[in-house]
Each structure stands twice: as C-alpha cells, then as structure tokens.
Amino acid sequence: MVLRGKVLRCIGLLIVLLAGGCDQHDPRRGDVNYGLGSVNFDDLYSYQSDGPYSNVLKRCAAIRFAFESCTLNTLPLLGQERAVPSVSDVMNRLAVSHAWMGDNFKLVLESMPDDVLLLLRSVTAIVIDADIKPAFYDPTTGAIYLDPDFLWLTVAERAMLPSRSDFRENYGRDLQFVDLWRYVRNNDWAWSSPDPADNIDRTLTEIRLPFARLLYHELAHANDMAPVDLIATFSGATTIYQAINAIGSQWLSTQLIASYPLHSDALKQIAQVKFNGQPSTAEQRAYSPADVGSLFQSDGADMLYNYTTPHEDFALLFEETMMKYHFDAELDVAFTN
C-alpha cells in the first residue's frame, strides 16, 4: 500500500509540474523561512566581488521583515535573465560567509545533473553562511539558504563552523516513538559521513549525494512558489514576495494537495509536535511506533515531515523522485522507540 500510494503521488507530482490550479496559502511555513530572522549575516558577502549583483545581494538576501523585500528590478529571479543559466550565472548570485563555501559549492554544482541549473531559475540568490542550520527557502527574498555543514571538505573548513544542532532536535521528546530515515542503494546506505571525532577530510564524492538531496529539496520550494513558466509574468516593479503571493492559486503544492492530498489528521497533528514544537496530547504520547507506522502505511507520504505543510509534502516528494531518477537512491523510513 505504501508503494502504491507513493507511485500514485509521484505520478500526480509529474502532472502538477506540467499543469495549473487552486486556493491561496501562507508561504511562511515548514522549512520555508525557518530562521531568516535569527541568522547573523554580519559576515556575509558576495562571492563574486565584481558580479553584476554584488552590491545588492547581501541587502536583498539578509532582510528581517517582508516589507524590506527587494523589487525584481533590483534583484530578479535568475530565470528572468537566463533561460538556461550557466554555473557562472549561478555563482554571480552566491553570497557566503567564508570563501571555501563558495569554492566547494562550485565544485559540487559542476558535478550535479543538468536540471539543477534549470531549477535554479526560480531563485534570486543562494546564501551559504556558517550560522545557517537547518537549510531553508524564504519567499520574502526568493533565495535558498544552505547549511555549509553539507559542503566542508577539510577538517580545517569544518572547524570554522559553530557547533550547532537543528533547533527542532528536542521537539516531541515526550512521544513514545522516533522516526528514522536514510537513502539506500543496493540495500546499503547511499552515503555516510565520517565521525567528527575522527578528524578526517571528506572527498567531493562523499558530499555529492547528500548535497544533491539538500539542493533538490530547497529548489523544490523555490519552484513550488515561483514556477518557471510563470516568472516571466512577474513585474519588475513588484517585490519577489508580492509576486509570489499574487500567484498563490498556482503554487505547485496547492495543486498537488488538491488532487493527491495526505489524509491522516492524526499524523498532521503529530508533525506539528515533532517539527513545529507544539505541545503533545495524552493521546499522542500513547502512540507506539506500530501505531504511527499503521497510520503512515497507506497515505503515500515520503516521511513524517510531509505532514507539516503542503510545501514540505511537495518538496519531499520531489526530492525523493529526483534522488531515485538521478542516483537510484531510495528513501527508507522507519518508526521505532
């Protein structure tokens, strides 16, 4: 039943990517705008100092409030300028806190499938900063914000990153189950990371797949809210936030849930506890791993995180589809205690 549900929803995703549809939702949810206001951008700068947007990248990407959103005349979406962006075009939209982040990002980007460059048409900027954890997309800026922990190659680079955990880590600790996930190939882990205590460097091959997963996820958010077939209609005089809100009825996540919704209200409420910090109820604290697995079994979700918002449902479905298509990596999910 799980496989059948996923197949149907993957087919639905492909239909959505080719079509149009439904009613408007608030974009500030899920890992969409998870922490823009809490990131210290003091050390952020344009990676390409002589790039065409070097003077505005930080100002437009490091805002605190929606009313500060830049107009598209100031910082357009990449796809408004390039039908097929090059790596060079993307690097002109990159802001970093450390030079090695840009260096490594370019190395990985050059190794990515060609469709990554096409998906980047729906962003205004890419931001990689030592203070970002977890990664997120923000519709007030139209930028993706990437966790550099996915990019370090040397022990010296890793040492420049603060020791920070995902702020959601302690949510739902009073529940009687934990949800686990990994990507697998040939019945084995698709990738692994060295133990930090080992103090060993990483290779490009070792970071390529986990970074691809991260990119596909955040770019799914960008393409959800700024579909590439609609960005030509965005007026340069409007802010990216205004432009995105104006097409709320055509967001891809809205269309997906209209035709292929997730049905379990119980899992939607549990997801708010696990990922958004809502207090748990006695009923939720009584759920066993088997109870949650039974609820999850036939709904066609990729993982529990799908239930947080329609945006996350869309992004995770897209992420899993692309990881299977390009790397033959399949998502493996479990509930235990």
- Structural contact between residues 252 and 312, judged by C-beta atoms closer than 8 angstroms: no
Q: Which residue has the tokens 């919704």?
A: 261
* DSSP code string of 83-95: SS--HHHHHTTEE
Q: How confident is the model at residue 10 (pLDDT cuts 50, 70, 90)?
A: low
Worst-scoring range by mean pLDDT, 153-167, 277-291, 314-328?
A: 153-167
pLDDT at residue 24 greater than cutoff 60: no
- Structural contact between residues 227 and 18, judged by C-beta atoms closer than 8 angstroms: no
Phi and psi (nearest 5°) for 58?
Answer: -65, -45
Q: How far apart are CA 314 and CA 11, in angstroms?
A: 12
Written as six digits, the tokens of 296 are 């999850």
**Higher-scoring residue by pLDDT: 195, 2:** 195
List 331's β-bridge partners, or say none.
183
C-alpha pair distances (Å), 23 with each of 33, 74, 102, 219, 223: 21, 29, 38, 22, 17
Overall pTM surpassing 0.85 (yes/no): yes
pLDDT at residue 81 greater than cutoff 80: yes
Res 33: pLDDT: 53
Helices (H), 122-264: 155-159, 204-225, 240-246, 252-259
pLDDT single digits (tens) 28-37: 334 555 456 7
Res 28: pLDDT: 35
pLDDT at residue 18 greater than cutoff 70: no
pLDDT single digits (tens) 208-254: 999 999 999 999 999 999 999 999 999 999 999 999 999 999 999 99
Res 5: pLDDT: 53
pLDDT single digits (tens) 198-211: 889 999 999 999 99
Domain membership of residue 84 as a residue range: 2-336
Written as six digits, the tokens of 289 are 């791993």
> Would you call the peptide bond into 22 cis, given omega within 30 degrees of 0 as the criterion?
yes
Q: In sequence order, what are the residues at sequence separation of 6 or more whose Cβ sits closer than 8 angstroms to the Cβ of residue 233?
A: none
Number of folded domains that form the chain: 1
Q: How confident is the model at residue 181 (pLDDT cuts 50, 70, 90)?
A: very high
Q: How far apart are CA 318 and CA 323, in angstroms?
A: 9
